[in-house]
Amino acid sequence: MNRLAEIAKLAGVSAATVSRTLTRPEMVAERTRRRVMNAVQATGFRPNELARSLKQQDSRTIGLVVTDLNPFHATLVKGVQDTAEQNELNVILFTSDDSEAREREALRVLRSHMVQGLILIPTAHTRQHQTLLQGLTVVELDRETGMEGMHTVQVQNRSAAAEAVRHLTRLGHTRIGAIFGQLHVSTAAARSQGYRDALEESGLPYDEALVRYGNDLEGSGRAAALELLGGPASGRPTALFVSNHEMTVGAIIAVRALGLRIPGDLSLAGFDDSRLMLLHEPPISVVAQPTYELGVRACELLVQALGGQREVQHLRLEAPFLPRGSTAPP
């Protein structure tokens, strides 16, 4: 006898009635409802989600695929989870590490768990996984692929980056180095555009020798910074803009290793705020994404979409630049 049937027997009703009481109580007579609820309470019964999902062809579960689990992502995840909880959704979390195989596997598992919705930080490989995404409602978070039908939640990357670099030009810097992620990632492309925008505004030339591309991890930021700053003081950039959190940390490490002083020898502007940036001596000027809110919004958007809202939405939040002690005149 299945579990539902046991409760039914206990309450002297049919299984269907128990099910109704639990899902659409208004369809059940007051008296019956109470008897059922008593039995449910007494046994601590909770319906099996798997069976329910299987039957309904839909699970109350959403997938969340992030590229990494650094402080930025942790905050994102919190935003999503808190919002999911409010909407009685469960979250299955995966980390793709920007790897094609891991992303594919994550999507497969999520499909087989019958998630209908998905929040995804897309990677360079997401386009290849189009088939796996068929029929799923997906919200692209932080980055965008440009694929049709995907909702997106991200910040004004281009203007935010421009604002950071503008801050540096205004301080009088003319040799401004920059470290971006891989250009085929939308955030990197947009932020690099912002960098060019700001240079152009002040009539500064775009100099490839001052630009490096990493993989968004600390190590690549460190390596890139070492290259840019390793030369003699004469040709070295006097300011550096790094376009994500981990690479900014890497740059800080490189600057230390080279014995340079911030902001004396180098002005440093980073991306994504954190306690590390704030407690650093001096505090690091950063573009501060509203990280938690990004997560919240992504989840809210997904909930709406799952609720029937057909229109594809594209959300863009502001990411203010916070000038702090790490940036000063050259």
* Residue window 12-41: x/- pattern of binding to DNA, with contact defined by CB under 7 A: xxxxxx-xx-xx---xxx-xxx--------
Cα–Cα distance, 81 to 77 (Å, whole number): 6
Q: Which part of the chain contacts DNA (CB under 7 A), choosing from 44-52, 147-155, 162-170, 292-300? A: 44-52
* Residue window 229-268: x/- pattern of binding to its own copies, with contact defined by CB under 8 A: --------------------x--xx--x------------
Of these, 9, 10, 37, 47, which contacts DNA (CB under 7 A)?
Answer: 47
Nearer to DNA, 33 or 158 (CB): 33
Tell the smallest beta-carbon distance from residue 65 to its own copies (Å). 12
CB 319 within 8 A of CB 174: no
Site for DNA in 52-71 (CB under 7 A): 52, 54-57
Please name the residues in contact with 294: beta carbons below 8 A apart, sequence gap of 6 or more: 76, 79, 141, 142, 153, 154, 155, 317
Cα–Cα distance, 311 to 149 (Å, whole number): 9
Binding-site partner at residue 28 among DNA, its own copies, none, CB < 5 to 8 Å by type = DNA
Nearer to DNA, 43 or 128 (CB): 43
**Residue 316 binding its own copies, by CB under 8 A:** no
The sign one gets for the Cα dihedral 106, 108, 114, 117 is positive
Cα–Cα distance, 129 to 297 (Å, whole number): 24
Binding-site partner at residue 23 among its own copies, DNA, none, CB < 5 to 8 Å by type = DNA
Query: How many angstroms from the chain centroid is the CA of residue 176?
Result: 28
Q: Which residue has the tokens 């490490």?
A: 253
Burial 232-243 (b: 16+ CB within 10 A, else e): eeeebbbbbbbb
Question: How many residues make contact with DNA (CB under 7 A)?
Answer: 27
Burial of 105: CB neighbours in 10 Å, binned 0-12, 13-18, 19+: middle
Nearer to its own copies, 31 or 275 (CB): 275
Retrieve residue 235's tokens: 């040709």
Tell the smallest beta-carbon distance from residue 1 to DNA (Å). 7
Nearest to 291 by CA among 63, 82, 107, 61: 82
Of these, 15, 32, 47, 147, which contacts its own copies (CB under 8 A)?
Answer: 47
Retrieve residue 275's tokens: 């306690």
Binding-site partner at residue 252 among its own copies, DNA, none, CB < 5 to 8 Å by type = its own copies
Burial of 252: CB neighbours in 10 Å, binned 0-12, 13-18, 19+: buried
Nearer to DNA, 102 or 113 (CB): 113
Kindly list the residues in this chain that would bind its own copies in the complex (CB under 8 A). Answer: 44, 46-51, 53-54, 59, 69-71, 73-74, 77-78, 81, 85, 90-95, 102, 105, 108-109, 111-114, 131, 218, 249, 252-253, 256, 275-276, 279-281
Kindly list the residues in this chain that would bind DNA in the complex (CB under 7 A). Answer: 2-4, 12-17, 19-20, 22-23, 27-29, 31-33, 47-48, 51-52, 54-57
